[in-house]
């Protein structure tokens, strides 16, 4: 299940707070969070890309900080507020960023978008009116093979401005 683990670590019961819900997981301590989210909990919105902390596809928010879940062991998330893309908004109540991405048609294939939305949400939570440079810096860790970065930056600025299409 997890190609990144070189040696087994002990099984442990870990308490997680995911999108405001308490969850108990029994797994090897060093299991990268992305496998827990996708395989054990069925939260497939978090994407697995490089698996090496290089692409940004797997980002989730831990205590308000956007982190690569492929490089975050299960134990590091214990008793922290973990937000995944599923926790940002609902189909009938989209997060302002999700609406702005739709309005700006900011996604193409969409594979990178979950991680980018999480990082953008972390940015807006601590800096509600970012400059374009701040948005670009916040998204710097994220690769987009479709080359949609400029539209995504526009969408983040639009969400920050509270502008609806
Ligand atoms: S899959 Fe985690 S950074 Fe690429
Ligand atoms: S929209 Fe396709 S990789 Fe970013």
Q: Is the pLDDT of residue 32 over 70?
A: yes
**CB of 112 closer than 6 angstroms to any ligand 2 atom:** yes
Ligand nearest to the CA of 152: 2
- For 96, the token pair is 């302002």
Going by their DSSP bridges, the two strands 11-18 and 59-62 should be labelled as unpaired
- Extended beta strands in the chain, E state: 11-18, 21-28, 59-62, 65-68, 81-83
Dihedral sign for Cα atoms in the order 40, 45, 50, 54: negative
Rounded distance between C-alpha atoms, residue 101 and residue 91, angstroms: 14
- Extended beta strands in 34-111, E state: 59-62, 65-68, 81-83
What single-letter DSSP state applies at residue 90?
Answer: B
| Closest by CA position to 85, among listed 45, 53, 55, 57 | 45
Residues in the chain: 165
Query: Coil, helix or strand for 37?
Result: helix
**CB of 33 closer than 6 angstroms to any ligand 1 atom:** no
pLDDT value of residue 164: 47
- Nearest-Å Rg of the Cα atoms of the chain is 16
Rounded distance between C-alpha atoms, residue 128 and residue 118, angstroms: 14
Atom of ligand 1 nearest to the CA of 143: 4
* pLDDT, average across residues 50-63: 98
Rounded to the nearest whole angstrom, what is the distance from the C-alpha of residue 142 to the centroid of ligand 1?
A: 9
Which residues lie across from 73 on neighbouring strands? 32
Topology of the domain covering 96-161: DNA polymerase; domain 1 (1.10.150)
* pLDDT, average across residues 85-101: 94
pTM of the model: 0.92
Under the banding of pLDDT at 50, 70 and 90, the label for residue 165 is very low
* pLDDT, average across residues 79-95: 94
Ligand nearest to the CA of 51: 1
Q: Is the pLDDT of residue 96 over 50?
A: yes
Residue ranges covered by each domain of the chain: 11-87, 96-161
| Check whether domain 11-87 has CATH 3.40.630.10, yes or no | no
Query: Coil, helix or strand for 107?
Result: coil
Atom of ligand 1 nearest to the CA of 141: 3
CA 13 vs CA 16, 26, 63, 81, 141: distances in Å: 10, 4, 20, 17, 31
């Amino acid at each position: 299940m997890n190609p990144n683990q070189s040696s087994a670590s002990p099984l442990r019961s870990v308490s997680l707070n995911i999108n405001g819900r308490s969850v108990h997981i029994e797994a090897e301590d060093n299991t990268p969070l992305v496998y827990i989210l996708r395989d054990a909990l069925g939260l497939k919105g978090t994407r697995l890309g490089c698996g090496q902390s290089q692409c940004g596809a797997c980002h989730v928010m831990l205590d308000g900080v956007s982190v690569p879940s492929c490089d975050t062991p299960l134990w590091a998330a214990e008793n922290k507020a973990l937000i995944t893309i599923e926790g940002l908004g609902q189909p009938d109540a989209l997060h302002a960023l999700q609406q702005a991405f739709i309005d700006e048609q900011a996604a193409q294939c969409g594979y990178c978008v979950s991680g980018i939305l999480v990082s953008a949400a972390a940015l807006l939570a601590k800096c509600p009116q970012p400059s374009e440079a701040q948005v670009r810096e916040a998204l710097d860790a994220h690769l987009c093979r479709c080359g949609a970065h400029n539209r995504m930056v526009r969408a983040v600025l639009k969400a920050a401005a509270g502008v609806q299409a």
